[in-house]
Structure 1
Amino acid sequence: MPGLVDSHVHASQFPNNGLHLGTPLLEWLEKYTFPTERSFADVKVAEKVYPRVVDRMLRNGTTTASYFATAHLPATKVLAATTAAKGQRALVGKVNMLMNCPENYREESVEESLRETEEFISYTESLKSPLVQPIVTPRFAITCPEDHMRALGALASKHKCRVQSHLCESEPEKELVKKIFPDFPSYTYLYHAMGLLTDKTIMAHCVWLDDEEVRLLAEKRAGVSHCPNSNLNLLSGHCNVKKLLQHGVKVGLGTDCSAGYSSSVLDAMRRALHVSCSVGMEHSKHDVLTLPEAFHLATLGGAQVVSMDDCIGNFVVGKEFDAILVDDTMEDKIQRFLYNGDDRNMVEVYVAGRRVVAR
């Protein structure tokens, strides 16, 4: 079957995986996540952690991943080089943040942030890997002042880069954005005004969008990475994926490790089904996701979100061969695999026709 696409994952948070869950988002970031990411100031940490992360992702059938690294340039270079060496298709982003984050874990200035981000873009291009591309990564509006976001939007446009960030993950986050940026009608419109909302944009979560924000995402052809595992663990809420799809918004799945404790897109698919059932029970007229629809989110839907559906996501002739060989064959067993399977069932994994995992 087609390789799985993880459209939102924090490679630097794997050491924190499965810890401190059940904590609200902003508290979880401050107390646990920022300190974990700060350790990547030591490039040796990156050299130890990132190869294990990529191996684990590939073993779970994730042939394409959109990674957040950290604000550290040397460590982020390690992640890009690692994905290239191991043959995973990846978007890799150096995190940008200047405010509302620890003093010992933030960039020095807008100018330094832009310089390092552009250097990372050049470095990734120098790898000459057809599989690995840079992605401009403002962490979220709370950590980026207005001039910073505008400059990052211009940088993404200059280099024709994709953009990834977080949007409307929790109600307190959305209220804080409104407080910091009172002159903008919505969180989504703020990104649009900064030049960060394009058809190459991946916005993670999108739990608390209003109707106008849904319309704007659809109009701009921006993608949404649905991360049900983390949305449940951090008490963020239930994303109404069916509504997004009905309004023409591109939707894929994200594991969002470490707020999501599983690195498997299959887990994200199953939890997307559960969340959709919960939304359906809350709104009696709501259609719930079907298993084929959830599988679409894990494959071609994810490819659309990361703007790669022209070359991956299914087995249309002419696309690249990103695939997993599963040890189930009959249709009923395929359903059983989608619900119960894991890395132990994945016999082989291919990216661009190259076998990167073999049992």
Structure 2
Amino acid sequence: MDDAPNSGRTIYYGAFVHCKSLQELDICESGAIGVGEDGKIAFIERGVSDIGLDGVKQTYDWGNAEEVRVNDEGFFFPGFIDTHIHASQYPNAGIFGKSTLLDWLNTYTFPLEGSLGDLERARLVYDRVVSRTLSNGTTAAAYYATIHVPATNLLADICLSKGQRGFIGRVCMNSLAPDYYRDASVDSVIADTRATMSHIADIDPKHDLVAPIITPRFAPSCTEDCLHALGALHKESGARCQTHISENKPEVALVCELFPKSASYADVYDSAGLLTAKTILAHAVHLSDEEKSLIKYRESKISHCPASNTALTSGCARVRDMLDRGITVGLGTDVSGGFSPSILEMARQAIWVSRHVAMTEGDQAKLSVEEVLYLATRGGAKVVGLEDRIGGFEVGMDWDAQMISLGKVSSDDMNLDTEGPVDVFGWESWDDKVAKWMFNGNDRNVSAVWVKGRLVHRRKSYKG
């Protein structure tokens, strides 16, 4: 038996839930998950009672391991992955008026993003958005920053400091943007993107937490030679790429006008070398069948942003059709086109969007609770290329997890502020409790969050 006073190992004891497949949840009502000092899951035991926990410790020679217990009505769940979020737009979350995409950019977005060249202003915004997403259980996020190198580097610094996995993108845009907020040339686009990539390599050489992601804003904001230069950098560096595609109809028409030699919006990116297995395409609301086939062939990934698509009246993405075609899909908040930094909220919104599609195209379009939770975790992990490390609970995977607490209704305690808005009466099945959380939960149900075994967020009520 190890007699060391602090082994750096932790056993997480209680119920745990994760997605076994797209259609199936794996619910363990009483288990023990051992996490080593490297932040990886060392063992998983099921059906463990309080007495049995001592046996688990003896079996694995973990007698001095720390114990973390979830309450009776709660459970451990994998951390959420936000596959599309504009960190620079967070102050505008919920502010979009009656805008549609293109006028929203000019009225709300570009002025805010342009102002973040001021590092103190950027620090205020980025510090809060990383803290806020962590508090909502988001353990990994693909972030868009701004065109400013120092501020983008600052976002990477903050993610690393706070312990959140971040794909950090310096936004590239040398066309169709205000004079005060655009890249001066193709050369400056590449030089400034390389500068951020170099900074991230300096602070996290192995990209354990933060990594660069090449970020052409969208095709209309980049000239053809700019897109091709970024495609060459994408191939040379091996870094991931993120951009937007087919968000609304006027945007699609604009792309056809700006790139008349291209067969489609997707072909614009493909011709530039930007449609690859490491590419994240946000929205994909108005893709043609040919574009979907091309995206599947190139193994590019889709970030479904249901709240944003509704808020800006962009349309309803056909997620069921994409899944049936074998296209990888995750969820994105798309703050601030989306009003909330919560991926749990996006899971709800994904269900509502699918049901609106079903009203005209049939019930087969509906997404289930199990499916949207899969998109929020394992699906998102595949989108960012970390499916072997995060998104579920298996031996060898990183402990990126959240502790979900649910309040049991009791006549002795009618305090509505204890465990968030989900009321559990005691007679619900575990499937019922998970569904209640999915439809009613929020950040108040997130008691604690870990990334690679490190505690990165906790509520005051968390006892540890």
Which category of TM-score, normalised to the shorter sequence, fits these structures? over 0.9
Please point out which of 196, 209, 214 is paired with 1:131: 209
Could you tell me which residue of structure 1 aligns to residue 143 of structure 2? 67
Gaps of 5+ in 2: 1-76, 407-423, 425-429, 460-464
122-131 or 96-105, larger mean C-alpha shift: 122-131
294-303 or 121-130, larger mean C-alpha shift: 121-130
How many pairs does the alignment contain? 359
Please point out which of 78, 96, 111 is paired with 2:154: 78
Residue type at the aligned position of 1:349: V
Residue type at the aligned position of 1:287: A
Q: Does 1:206 align with 2:288?
A: no
Q: Does 1:354 align with 2:454?
A: yes
Residue type at the aligned position of 1:104: Y
Please point out which of 103, 109, 118 is paired with 1:33: 109
Residue type at the aligned position of 2:264: S
| CA distance in 2: counterparts of 1:60 and 1:33, whole angstroms | 24
Q: Is the 8 A contact 1:20 1:28 kept in 2?
A: yes
In the TM superposition, residue 335 of structure 1 has moved relative to its aligned partner by: 1.5
Q: Is the 8 A contact 1:5 1:298 kept in 2?
A: yes
In the TM superposition, residue 21 of structure 1 has moved relative to its aligned partner by: 3.5
Could you tell me which residue of structure 1 aligns to residue 91 of structure 2? 15
Could you tell me which residue of structure 2 aligns to residue 286 of structure 1? 364
Q: Is the 8 A contact 2:318 2:365 kept in 1?
A: no
| CA distance in 2: counterparts of 1:321 and 1:294, whole angstroms | 21
Question: Which structure's residues are more often strand, by fraction?
Answer: 2
Could you tell me which residue of structure 1 aligns to residue 443 of structure 2? 343
| CA distance in 1: counterparts of 2:97 and 2:214, whole angstroms | 28
The sequence identity of aligned pairs, in percent, is 45
Q: Is the 8 A contact 1:206 1:239 kept in 2?
A: yes
Normalised TM-score (structure 1): 0.98
Could you tell me which residue of structure 2 aligns to residue 106 of structure 1? 182
Could you tell me which residue of structure 1 aligns to residue 405 of structure 2? 327
Gaps of 5+ in 1: none
Question: Which structure's residues are more often helix, by fraction?
Answer: 1
Q: Deviations over 1:163-201 (max 9, x none)?
A: 000000000000000000000000001101100011111
Q: Is the 8 A contact 1:163 1:200 kept in 2?
A: yes
In the TM superposition, residue 22 of structure 1 has moved relative to its aligned partner by: 2.9
| CA distance in 2: counterparts of 1:125 and 1:153, whole angstroms | 20
Q: Is the 8 A contact 1:279 1:286 kept in 2?
A: no
In the TM superposition, residue 285 of structure 1 has moved relative to its aligned partner by: 5.9
| CA distance in 2: counterparts of 1:119 and 1:310, whole angstroms | 29
Residue type at the aligned position of 1:268: M
In the TM superposition, residue 286 of structure 1 has moved relative to its aligned partner by: 3.5
Q: Deviations over 1:41-74 (max 9, x none)?
A: 1111111111111000000000010000001111
Q: Secondary structure at the match of 1:41?
A: coil
CA RMSD, aligned part only? 1.0
Residue type at the aligned position of 1:343: D
In the TM superposition, residue 20 of structure 1 has moved relative to its aligned partner by: 2.3
| CA distance in 1: counterparts of 2:458 and 2:368, whole angstroms | 31
Of structures 1 and 2, the larger Rg is shown by: 2
Q: Secondary structure at the match of 2:263?
A: coil
| CA distance in 2: counterparts of 1:71 and 1:95, whole angstroms | 5
| CA distance in 2: counterparts of 1:127 and 1:201, whole angstroms | 24
Residue type at the aligned position of 2:167: L
* Structure 1 moving runs of 4+ over 6 Å: none
In the TM superposition, residue 130 of structure 1 has moved relative to its aligned partner by: 1.1
